[in-house]
Amino acid sequence: MSHLFGSLSVFMFVALPNGRDKRVTLASIPCDYAEREEVFRKFVDVNGASLLKATIHAEFVARETVYL
């Protein structure tokens, strides 16, 4: 069985003085696709006390470079 390996990008949005929001990456954690939710849960458990849990988001990113 093939596994999709990539990274979990954990981020949040912060308000800038000019009223706009900016996406800020908090961590990029290498992991397998099947482990993404567990990895995110652990990150929130460890860091959630210092951050507002409702504002932390994550996305799984996988890239492949193809050469000819």
Q: What is the overall mean pLDDT for the chain?
A: 90
Tell me the C-alpha to C-alpha distance, in Å, between residue 31 and each of 35, 47, 57.
Answer: 6, 18, 16
All residues at 6 or more sequence positions from 44 whose CB lies less than 8 Å from its CB, including other chains: 53, 56
**Do the Cβ atoms of 49 and 5 come closer than 8 Å?**
no
Tokens 């799984």 belong to 60
Work out the angle at residue 6's Cα, subtended by the Cα atoms of residues 40 and 66, and round it to the nearest 5 degrees.
160
For 41-61, write each residue's pLDDT tens digit. Answer: 999 999 877 777 678 999 999
Q: What is the pTM of this model?
A: 0.81
